A and B are shown apart, each in its own frame.
Chain A
Amino acid sequence: GENVEQHPSTLSVQEGDSAVIKCTYSDSASNYFPWYKQELGKGPQLIIDIRSNVGEKKDQRIAVTLNKTAKHFSLHITETQPEDSAVYFCAASMGGSGYSTLTFGKGTMLLVSP
């Protein structure tokens, strides 16, 4: 089955800095790669996703890049703010199938200091 590795497990940055979280996956058939943000006491929420037919996607201060050859994808957050502090999860799946399962990385705790 799919295996997703995520690094780092914790990341501390100063407000205004950029943050990068990296993930690798094992199943070359995976074609859907979402990123979820989990705030304290809440459920994970999708912040951005990318499919294997594109290499990069941006949404304001957040961007995701995908390298299918190397089987890795990354989340980039620019101009970080204290409210970006949360646990971030990457995931991978075969997105076209209704029966497909998301396999999650182990999460990265991002702390943005004012």
Chain B
Amino acid sequence: DTAVSQTPKYLVTQMGNDKSIKCEQNLGHDTMYWYKQDSKKFLKIMFSYNNKELIINETVPNRFSPKSPDKAHLNLHINSLELGDSAVYFCASRAEGSRLFFGEGSRLTVL
């Protein structure tokens, strides 16, 4: 069973569109994250939720809106997509004091 699963794996869309990426973890972790990995492979945290509550919100445009319906799910919605949003987005989860588990990534391409 996949520990952290995210969908879709690939997403190609036009500038200005709105898209969502979904993430689910079956590890029972309390904390979930969204990371953005740019073309240079740099991993930058975007958001962190603990038990459905937002605890970290890095300097991310407000076009990005995370939503956590329960502690096993953390979805990412992006409005008015721009070329610079093209990247691989990773969902991850973690229990307190333990290691981070990453999903397989969602590659977003904005044309």
Given A42-B105, A43-B90, A43-B105: A102 and B42 within 8 A (CB)? no
Q: How far is the CB of A108 from chain B (nearest CB, A)?
A: 9
Q: Mark B27-43, 1 if CB is under 8 A from A, else 0.
A: 00011010000001111
Chain B residue numbers with a CB within 8 Å of A99 are: 31, 48, 50, 55-56
Chain A residue numbers with a CB within 8 Å of B33 are: 101
Given A43-B102, A43-B103: A98 and B40 within 8 A (CB)? no
In the assembled complex, A45 has its CB within 8 A of some CB on chain B: yes
Q: How far is the CB of B49 from chain A (nearest CB, A)?
A: 11
Complex Cα distance, B56 from A107, in Å, reads: 23
Contact A98 B31 (CB under 8 A): yes
Q: How many A-B residue pairs have CB under 8 A?
A: 61
Chain A residue numbers with a CB within 8 Å of B43 are: 44, 89, 104, 107
Complex Cα distance, B95 from A42, in Å, reads: 21
- Name B's interface SS: strand
Chain B residue numbers with a CB within 8 Å of A44 are: 43, 90, 102
With CB as the reference atom, state the residue of chain B lying closest to A45. Answer: B102
Complex Cα distance, B33 from A43, in Å, reads: 13
Contact A106 B56 (CB under 8 A): no
Total A residues in contact with B, Cβ cutoff 8 Å: 25
Contact A98 B30 (CB under 8 A): yes
Contact B40 A106 (CB under 8 A): yes
Contact A98 B90 (CB under 8 A): no
Complex Cα distance, B58 from A104, in Å, reads: 14
In the assembled complex, A20 has its CB within 8 A of some CB on chain B: no
B binding-site residues for A, Cβ under 8 Å: 4, 30-31, 33, 40-45, 48, 50, 55-56, 90, 92, 94-97, 99-105
| A-B CB proximity, top 8 nearest | A98-B96, A43-B102, A104-B43, A107-B41, A46-B99, A43-B104, A44-B102, A43-B105
